[in-house]
Amino acid sequence: MPPVFLNLCKALPALLLALQATAAAPSPHASPAEVPVYRTSMPPPMVLSYRLRKGGWTGNGDLTWLPHGNRYQASLEGTVMGFKAMTWVSAGNLDAHGIAPTRFTDERRGKKPLTADFQRPSGPIAYSGYPDRHPLVAGAQDRLSWMLQVAAIASADPRRMSRGERVSFFVTGARGDADVWSFQVKGTEGVVTPAGSFPAVKLLREPRKPNDTRVEVWLDPARYYLPVRARLTNVQENDTLELVLEEMQPPTS
For 79, 85, 119, the CA distances from 125, given in Å and listed in that order, are 29, 26, 6
Question: Residue 137 has what pLDDT?
Answer: 93
Instruction: Answer whether 0.85 is exceeded by the pTM.
Output: yes
Among residues 172, 43, 38, the alpha carbon closest in space to that of 95 is found at 38
Question: Residue 2 has what pLDDT?
Answer: 52
Q: How far is 105 from 174, CA to CA, in rounded Å?
A: 7
Q: Do residues 206 and 214 touch, judged by C-beta distance below 8 A?
A: yes
SS3 category, 16? helix
In a domain, 223, yes or no: yes
**Confidence band of 31 (pLDDT split at 50, 70, 90):** confident
In a domain, 32, yes or no: no
**Confidence band of 50 (pLDDT split at 50, 70, 90):** very high
Tens-place pLDDT, residues 88-139: 999 999 999 999 999 999 998 888 999 999 999 999 999 998 999 999 999 9
pLDDT at 10 over 60: no
Among residues 187, 200, 213, 181, the alpha carbon closest in space to that of 245 is found at 200
What is the tally of structural domains in the chain? 1
pLDDT at 5 over 80: no
SS3 category, 95? strand
CATH of the domain at 229: 2.50.20
Tens-place pLDDT, residues 182-220: 999 999 999 999 999 999 999 999 998 888 999 999 999
In a domain, 197, yes or no: yes
100 Cβ contact list (under 8 Å, min separation 6): 92, 93, 94, 118, 120, 140
In a domain, 236, yes or no: yes
In a domain, 176, yes or no: yes
pLDDT at 11 over 80: no
Q: How far is 253 from 238, CA to CA, in rounded Å?
A: 39
Least confident of 32-36, 221-225, 230-234: 32-36
Q: How far is 26 from 110, CA to CA, in rounded Å?
A: 40
- b/e 49-77 (16+ beta carbons within 10 angstroms → b): bbbbbbeeeebbbbbbbebeeeebebbbb
pLDDT at 143 over 90: yes
Question: Residue 70 has what pLDDT?
Answer: 97
Q: Do residues 251 and 231 touch, judged by C-beta distance below 8 A?
A: no
Question: Residue 192 has what pLDDT?
Answer: 96
Question: Residue 25 has what pLDDT?
Answer: 55
126 Cβ contact list (under 8 Å, min separation 6): 116, 117, 119, 133
Question: Residue 58 has what pLDDT?
Answer: 93
Among residues 65, 51, 77, the alpha carbon closest in space to that of 251 is found at 65
For the chain, the 3-state helix, strand and coil shares in percent, each to the nearest 5, are: 15, 50, 30
Among residues 84, 53, 77, 76, the alpha carbon closest in space to that of 231 is found at 53
In a domain, 204, yes or no: yes
In a domain, 78, yes or no: yes
Question: Residue 56 has what pLDDT?
Answer: 81
In a domain, 7, yes or no: no
For 82, 145, 193, the CA distances from 105, given in Å and listed in that order, are 21, 11, 28
Structural domain containing residue 202: 45-249
% of the chain with per-residue pLDDT over 90: 75
